[in-house]
Amino acid sequence: MEQHTPDQRRPVRIVMNGITGRMGYRQHLLRSILAIRDDGGVLLADGSRLQVEPILVGRNRTKLAELAARHDVADFTADLDEALADPTASIYFDAQVTSERKKSILKAVAAGKHIYTEKPTAESVEEGLELARAADAAGIIAGVVHDKLYLPGLVKLKRLIDSGYFGRILSVRGEFGYWVFEGDVQPAQRPSWNYRSEDGGGMVLDMFCHWNYVLENLFAPVQSVIAKAVTHVPERWDENGERYTATADDSAYGIFELEGDIIAQINSSWAVRVDRGELVEFQVDGTHGSAVAGLFECRIQPSVRTPKPVWNPDLPTDLDFRSQWASVPDNQEFPNGFRAQWEDYLRDVDAGRPHRYDLLSGVRGLQLVEAALTSSGEGRRVELERITL
């Protein structure tokens, strides 16, 4: 086997499609690939480095040229076929709107590129399975963005779970969301396509893919779901100031039964005002202790420090409940979660091994989406069957 010398740097060229969008630019290009490039590449165990070189792809050539000039990127094109025909590019990354993803990924697989993609990976379980099977048949290494597992708060929560801190885990309660302005008086913080189902928008399609991988990787696989998806704000204004009808759900309320008799409840809304420490928080309760984890913080209350409140609606409580929790220390440096997973994925590609968060994981997220939408539409509990290639 060829041995890499410690000072060797090997280029890895990545076709990055949809990079002019909010997430594609900020998290994947700016804070991940360019940050890795500027820090000298991905360090491998033998001391060598993978030097990343992005090829920017998008529909607006003018925007691509501006980004390339601003960030000293040599290659960009508005022609995906041209980028995929480059034999020096080994990886294709997709950050487009969901409705455009399937056909582009299939093109990349046919071109022999390894695949790394945002989620949802497709618009349905059937389409997601088509992508997973195509990648498997081609023998390429595929990965799906699972950024929330790399958040400092959830990394600390995983430590607690692995240590046995909770005893038997009983329940998980999640609160996610914030007020997204309608766009008339103040510009919206999210793109308008998020609120049009015909363009792949919707809270369930967007966030339940996240909740599936969070639940199955931290706690246990989801066995069933009861959900209600609603559109609280029916009219919004787009980036050009034009009024439009919101056809996608902006809020979703779900109850999930997990293996091991764990019950999870997660509220997700772009029509809620925040009264909590962070924009997302998960409370986990177990027989030996509880924890509340957000993006960065994780607080605990073990059984031996749990107070004994008594319900009395006639008198105000004299207990300061929040002061009775202790913070879990960082004990390590936490890089940007998107960057951390990019580095894991690039190391897997270099080593020729599967990435643990693969396209089938993305399909399971879509399965939960479809089950939740069925539950909401039909007003019933929906069970999830095991999916395989």
What is the average per-residue pLDDT within 84-108? 96
Q: Extract the tokens encoding 347.
A: 């190391």
Indicate whether 218 pLDDT > 60: yes
Angle at alpha carbon of residue 360, lines to 20 and 59, rounded to 5°:
20
Query: In terms of residues, how long is the chain?
Result: 389
Give pLDDT tens digits for 99-139.
Answer: 899 999 999 999 999 999 999 999 899 999 999 999 999 99
pLDDT for the residue numbered 199: 86
C-alpha distances in angstroms, 346 versus 37, 39, 44, 342? Answer: 13, 15, 10, 6
pLDDT for the residue numbered 4: 44
Do the beta carbons of residue 255 and residue 149 sit within 8 Å?
A: no
Average pLDDT, the chain: 95
pLDDT for the residue numbered 8: 83
CA distance 242 to 240: 6
At residue 132, what are phi and psi to the nearest 5 degrees?
-65, -40
pLDDT for the residue numbered 3: 45
CA distance 243 to 205: 23
Indicate whether 237 pLDDT > 90: yes
* Least confident residue range of 4-13, 90-99, 120-129, 216-225: 4-13
Sequence-separated (6 or more) residues with CB below 8 Å from residue 118: 18, 23, 24, 28, 94, 95, 101, 144, 145
When comparing pLDDT for 97 and 63, which is higher? 63
Q: What percent of the chain has pLDDT over 70?
A: 98
Give pLDDT tens digits for 348-361.
Answer: 999 999 999 999 99
pLDDT for the residue numbered 7: 54
CA distance 360 to 133: 9
DSSP state of 271: B
Give pLDDT tens digits for 60-72.
Answer: 999 999 999 999 9
Indicate whether 382 pLDDT > 80: yes
At residue 54, what are phi and psi to the nearest 5 degrees?
-80, 145
The distance from CA 199 to its chain's CA centroid, rounded to whole angstroms, is 19
Query: By C-alpha distance, which of 346, 354, 338 is closest to 132?
Result: 354
CA distance 119 to 359: 10
Work out whether strand 289-293 and strand 298-302 pair parallel, antiparallel, or are unpaired.
Answer: antiparallel
CA distance 379 to 377: 6
Indicate whether 6 pLDDT > 60: no
- Radius of gyration for the alpha carbons in the chain, expressed in angstroms and rounded: 22
CB atoms within 10 A of CB 321: 10
pLDDT for the residue numbered 216: 97
CA distance 40 to 51: 7
pLDDT band, residue 179 (cuts 50/70/90)? very high
Give pLDDT tens digits for 14-28.
Answer: 999 999 988 999 999
Q: 192-196 long-range contacts, Cβ below 8 Å, gap at least 24?
A: 192/236, 192/237, 192/238, 192/239, 192/244, 193/97, 194/248, 194/270, 195/233, 195/236, 195/244, 195/246, 195/247, 195/248, 195/250, 196/244, 196/246, 196/247, 196/248
CA distance 379 to 228: 8
Q: Which domains, ranges and CATH numbers included, belong to the chain?
A: 9-146+338-358 (3.40.50.720), 148-332+367-378 (3.30.360.10)
Q: What percent of the chain has pLDDT over 90?
A: 92
Q: What is the pTM of this model?
A: 0.93
